[in-house]
Structure 1
């Protein structure tokens, strides 16, 4: 079955939003290199400033989910796009580290609402949910790859302030498109189930909804997403540095005219590009494979791949490239499964709150592996680092088994979730 008109409209709207969130996100580290040369500020201080921008990206997901349930996801996504674009225009005018800090914090706050709002919209408005999750993920990967590529390329020719302003232009165009987009955000919700905005949401209702969620299968899903976030952040944060240090890559000759680009960067960007295929395949499989069963298999594969990286570094350039491509495919293939699990096991009227908690786990708690992984990599060994990462994946296997086995006990009978849970 193909996508209907409403599905296509929501797909286009959310794909634009997802791509641009990561377009802005991954361009910031490119600017950091320029800012360190431009301003008389140390790396540690600038690191804190950049962290101020990234922190709200994860921590704001829960408030973003609450706002999506209260005001509707479309309004939140358009506000996100406008806020991120405004943030980069602020950066383009920055003459001091303080203005940069303001711009980055504004970006983090604006970006934080996208994932709970965008995914809530897909889960309640799209009938072919798995397919749209797949295309949504591909768009995100496109933004991840294109953001740093476009920023770095423009910086060769233009001043960084002008580049920041140029990067804001697609966001402004997306706001215009979003304001004119028309679709039914609750088209996939059964008749009689309220999934629309809740203007009267109170603190007591928030506490009640949260208790109901964590008394259901969502408690396990939240833990699943947190360990996936630990795996994801740890691997993607340190893999570029690890690849740069490999003899098989470091000794590779660079073509004339590309002397300023490290070969390891080609492999890393290639990994992200292959991830688009993983997102698509994973999304399509969510229509055929129950969420818990898919998560079990994919976490098991990710554990094996993490353990394979140490012997894999001895395979030479071709072997390392194949290993990284395989890793990229499965790392992103798992994402549609946990996104769909939230849709399957939670009631539609708290879908924004559910995805808010989900991305608090993914981007908030998951970022702890950056600190822990850095200590292990610096104080222990490469083997210990990949063993730690594999442990996160194995924890995901166990949690997914618990979700499969205990789902009937954990789903709140008084607030039924999706009918397409594991058989």
Structure 2
């Protein structure tokens, strides 16, 4: 197969996998609104069952870069499609809390494959790093956004079990198509340029420490906001909306994040990454702080700002790994990057339950704003660290 054809197909399925990864992880937070009355459990009890999902999502991302060297990235991405599909079918048939928790744990394990492996594949096959990362982010964000609306609509009309079963079948079908149409990992046209150009830095350990803080804090804001969003809108919007409208409104909020990721992709190709990082990070504490202090329309505006910043940050973070890490280490670097972000943010679910029981979603959003402020401070530190002796890092050639 010609390298260009292989690259186009690989990027297509990496994008599909990104959409499905976020979709399948966010089915449950909306489905619990329909599951609670049928199973006779509270929201807090049901949402707590998904703790293992998000812990596994981060924990099992760490070894993926090493497993890719042994089994190949194509094999692991195929396992992602198949494992997520089977997990969702298991959830569709589950009733007991322990069984639900078990299948959610398995779902977290297989969903952990995508980000380290898919990101490394995308960087290797990308023609223009920022543009392709931006579109990949859009696919993931639309998957997250559609999860709330589609799950709410399906659960209201056909039942929550169908809301798990149909995406499960889609995952299995996508996996079969991937194996048929992408015959090998390949190198693609991106490898001819060594993928993204590597930017030299004078003090990599200091930059790594600053970036690690941003990843951990950003992981908390990402997971707390995306998991809690349907229930936040349900409780604090000030309207008695049915489940379908609540899910649809959550989808619209996610769409704004998708648009931001397209913008971030363009900015990454045109401007220095530390500048883009610092500017975008300011929106997180502003948006989350506004949402925590308000209800109704101002709440919605705050959530839109926060979601735009949170999802735009994903593009910036991946671009930073691609630009600052040598090609031979990128798969492992993506594994560590997502391990830090997702494992720590696995605490998001019990944190939501704890804070919601203590002070409602005002407390949940307020604490999220503090994490957002930490991201902003880290971005400022990264900018200052690269504006001196590492000024050469500021000008990355566009691809």
> So what's the TM-score if we normalise by structure 1?
0.78
Check 1:296–1:189 CA distance in 2 against 1; reply closer, same or farther (3 A cut).
same
Question: How far 1:84 sits from its partner (Å)?
Answer: 0.6
- Of 218, 228, 234, which aligns to 2:224? 234
- Of 277, 291, 303, which aligns to 1:324? 303
If each structure's helix is expressed as a fraction of its own residues, which one has the higher value? 2
Maintained 8 Å contact 1:69/1:351: no
Maintained 8 Å contact 1:87/1:103: yes
The 2-side partners of 1:295 and 1:140 are apart by 20
Check 1:227–1:276 CA distance in 2 against 1; reply closer, same or farther (3 A cut).
same
Match of 1:208 in 2: none
Match of 2:81 in 1: 81
Question: How far 1:83 sits from its partner (Å)?
Answer: 0.6
The 2-side partners of 1:421 and 1:27 are apart by 39
The 2-side partners of 1:406 and 1:118 are apart by 29
Match of 2:371 in 1: 392
Secondary structure of residue in 2 paired with 1:287: helix
- Of 383, 396, 399, which aligns to 1:420? 396
- Note the residue ranges of structure 1 that are not aligned, 5 or more in a row: 194-212, 255-259, 412-416
Match of 1:355 in 2: 334
Structure 1 residue 273 and structure 2 residue 258: aligned? Answer: no
- Of 187, 190, 197, which aligns to 1:188? 190
Structure 1 residue 60 and structure 2 residue 60: aligned? Answer: yes
Q: Deviations over 1:90-111 (max 9, x none)?
A: 2334364444344222211111
Check 1:272–1:216 CA distance in 2 against 1; reply closer, same or farther (3 A cut).
same
Secondary structure of residue in 2 paired with 1:61: coil
Maintained 8 Å contact 2:86/2:168: yes
Superposition pairs for residues 126-275 of structure 1, below 5 Å?
Answer: 126-158=126-158, 160-182=160-182, 184-185=186-187, 187-189=189-191, 215=205, 217-246=207-236, 249-251=237-239, 260-261=242-243, 265-275=247-257
The 1-side partners of 2:307 and 2:76 are apart by 30
Match of 1:199 in 2: none
Larger Cα Rg: Structure 1 or Structure 2?
1
Question: How far 1:300 sits from its partner (Å)?
Answer: 1.4
Question: How far 1:372 sits from its partner (Å)?
Answer: 4.7
Question: How far 1:355 sits from its partner (Å)?
Answer: 1.1
Maintained 8 Å contact 2:257/2:309: yes
Match of 1:210 in 2: none
Maintained 8 Å contact 1:141/1:273: yes
The 2-side partners of 1:176 and 1:9 are apart by 14
Structure 1 residue 336 and structure 2 residue 304: aligned? Answer: no
The 2-side partners of 1:37 and 1:383 are apart by 25
Check 1:116–1:52 CA distance in 2 against 1; reply closer, same or farther (3 A cut).
same
Superposition pairs for residues 81-100 of structure 1, below 5 Å?
Answer: 81-94=81-94, 96-100=96-100
| Aligned-residue RMSD, C-alpha | 3.6
Q: State the number of aligned residues.
A: 385
Match of 1:72 in 2: 72
Maintained 8 Å contact 1:88/1:107: yes
Maintained 8 Å contact 1:344/1:421: no
Maintained 8 Å contact 1:271/1:327: no
Maintained 8 Å contact 2:154/2:162: no
Check 1:410–1:336 CA distance in 2 against 1; reply closer, same or farther (3 A cut).
farther
Check 1:378–1:10 CA distance in 2 against 1; reply closer, same or farther (3 A cut).
same
The 2-side partners of 1:293 and 1:170 are apart by 40
Question: How far 1:240 sits from its partner (Å)?
Answer: 4.2
The 2-side partners of 1:379 and 1:160 are apart by 29
